[in-house]
Structure 1
Amino acid sequence: MDSKHQDTNNTELIANNEELENYFRNTVIPQLFVDGNLILRKFTPPAMKQFQLSSGDLGKHISELTVQIRFPTIIQNILEVIETNKDMEKEIQTMDHSWYQMNILPYVIRKSNQTNGVIITFVDITSRIETLNQYEKLNLEYQNIIFALSHDLKGPIHNIKGLIGLLKEVKENDKEETNSLLDSMGKSIGKLLKTIEDLTESTKKKTGFAETSERVNIQNIVEDVLVGLGDKISRSKAKIHTEFQVSELKFSRKNIRSIVYNLLGNAIKFSEKIGQPEVWIKTQNLGTYILLTVKDNGPGIDKGKQKAIFNPHTRLDQEVEGTGLGLFIVKRMVEDLGGKVEVESVFGEGSIFRVYFKQETIHQKLN
C-alpha cells in the first residue's frame, strides 16, 4: 500500500473518530460504544451519570464492568447484532431495578461495510412500566368490585326474601310480630343499600392509584355483618363468640366488610349442615400485621383441597348454595394490600381461617 493511500485511510479514520467523539460528547441519551471484541470504547456523559461509569472503565471487556448496567444476556445480544447486522430492541431491568428500552445498533464502517461493534442506547422507561403496573393493579381492583357486587349482594337479598316469607305466615292480628319483621326488613334493606353505596363509591375514588385504605373499627364491621347475616344466624341457631384484642386497623372499609361477610357467612353455612353452628371471631395485634381469626365447628376441609378453595368458582360441596367466589375475593383483597390468608382444617373437625392485614400504624386496643 503506497503512502498516499495510507494517509487517506488515516484521515478517514480520524474523521470517523472525531465525528463519533463529537456525537458522544453532545448527546443527552445514555449510550455506549462497544467494539467487535466487546471492549467498551466510549460512553456518553449521561451514561457515566446513569450507570456510574468512569474513565477507568474504558478499555474493559463488557463482562468486567461491575456497574449497574449489567444484565444476563447483554453479551449474547451484542454478539447477535454484530453477526446479523440487525438492530435489536428490548426492555431490560438493571441492577438498581430501573427499566430501560435498550436499542443495540450495529456500528458499520462505511468504506468496508463491515460491523465493527455496536452502539447501545438506553431510554429510561421506569415510569412507564410503573404506570402499566398500576393500571394492571387498578384493573384487578375493578374486578374485585365486580366480584364483590355479584357476591355480597346475594346475602342481604336472600335475607329480605326470607323475611318476606315469614311475613306472609304472620297472622293478620299479630301486629307486634309484623312490626318486628318489618323492622328487620328495613335494617336488611339499609344494609343492602349501604353495601351498594360502599362498593360503587370506591369506583369514583379510583381516579389515582392510591389504595382507599382508612382507619376502620373492626368490631363495628363485625356487628354490622352479623346484622346482615341475621336470617342465617336465626335459622341455624348459630352461636357467635367474639374477642377483640384490637379494635381498629387500616384497610379499605368496603373490602374488610366483604372479607368478614364471606368468612362468617361460610362458617355458618357449612357448619349448619352437621349441627348447630358455633363460630369464634378474634383479632390480635402481631405488630406488622393485625390478625383476624375465624374458627368454626363445621365439617372441615380435606387437606388436599385446601389450596383449591381459593380458586375462583371452586365449590367443594355442590349441595351448599354459592358461586365459589367468596374465598377467591377474600384472598385477592388481602394480598393486594400486602397481607396473606391461611387456612388450618382437619376433615370432620372444623376450620380456622387466619387473615393477616398488613399495617403501618399503631392500633388502639379495647379496654
Structure 2
Amino acid sequence: MELLERETLALEEAQQQKERLYNLFMQAPSLLCINRGRDFVYELANPSYLDVFMVDASIIGRAALDVFPDADPAIVQIYTNVFETGQRFVGKELSITGDWKRNNSPYTRYFNLIYEPLRELDGSVSGIVTFGYEVTEHVSARQELEQNALLMQEMNEELNQKYLELGRINNDLDNFIYTASHDLRSPLVNLEGLLLALNKHLAGSITPQATTVLQLAGVSIDKLKRTIKDLTEITKAQKGVDDVREAVSFKEILEDIKTDLPQEYASLGALIREDFQVDTILYSRAGLRTILYNLVSNAIKYRSADRPLAIRISTSRNGTYTLLRVEDNGLGIPEQQLPKLFSMFTRLHTHVEGTGIGLYTIKRVIENNGGRIEVSSQLDKGSAFTVYMV
C-alpha cells in the first residue's frame, strides 16, 4: 500500500514538473519548438515560434515540409545534418528566405538559432529542439549603417576630388591674375608716359575739349592702375604671400596708413579715435596693413554728407582672440546686402570710385591667418567691422 502511494506521489510530482516545464516552454519570449522523426513532425511550438513564423497551433502533428513546402533548402540541409550527425548547430544572423506571408513574395529574414539534437535514453537522435530569436531589424539597421558609411566614404572621396580640382582651378586662376596684372603693367606705364608726353607737346595749343579727353584718359589709367594693384593683392592673399609673423604695433601701422591716404582724405585721418587695449600682435605686417588700410579708407570713402565723420579703432582681448574693431558713422549697409559684402567685385555704393576687391582681399588675409571677420551695420547710421585675430 505504501509502495503504491509513493508511486502515485512520484507520478503526480513528475506530472507537475512536466506541466511547469511545459508552461516555461510556452511562456518563453524566445522561439522554441520540437520536431520529431526524419520528417520533423511538429510536437510542440510555443506562441513566440508561431508568431515569428506566422503560423498557428494547427501545425502540431504536421511535418515541417508540409507546413513550409517552400522551405529554404539550406535550412532543410542543416536540420538533416543535425539529425544524422547528432551535432548541435549554432547559427548567428542566419538568413532564411521564404514565402512568409503565403503571397508568392518570398523575402529574407535573419535569426540567431540553435538546433539541438533530441536524444533518447539509448543516445539515438529522435528529433530536434529549435531555440532562438529573430534579429532582422538589428541586421537591417546594421546593413543600412554600413551602406550609409560606404555612401559617405564615396561622397568624401568625391568631395576630396572636387576639392583637389577646385584647388587646381584656384591655382590656375591665381596664376592667370598674377600674369595678367604683371603683363599689363608695362604697356600701362608706356601709355601713361605717352599721355604725359602728349600733354607737354600740346601745351598751350590744346582745345578745351581735348583737355577734357586727356583728363578722362588720365583718370581711366589711374583706375586701371588701382585695379591691377588690387588684383596683385588678391593673389598675395590667396597664396599667403608676406605671411611671415612678427610683433606688429597697431598704432604704428595706423600712423603709416594715415600718411599714405589719398590727398583728398589726408585731413580726415585726424578724425580717427584710437583705443588700443592691445598694443601689439604677432601677425603678418603686410596683412595687418592691408586689413586696416581697407577698413579705414572705406570708412572715409563711404562717409555721410549729413554729419561730421567719426571713426573709432579699438583692440581688446577675447579668449584666445585679439579683436580689432573699426566703427564709423557713415552711410551704413542695408541688412539684405550684408551676406554678399565680402564677395569679389561687390560694390554697394556706386557714387564713389572703387573696384569691389578690398573687403574680399582682407577676408582672405584674415582667414589665411586663422581668424574671421564680422560686420554689423544700420543704413544711415554706420557700420562696425570686428576682426578676430589669432
Using structure 1 for the length normalisation, give the TM-score: 0.45
Query: Larger helix proportion, structure 1 or 2?
Result: 2
Mark the structure with the bigger radius of gyration: 2
Q: Whose RCO is larger (CA < 8 A, sep 6+)?
A: 1
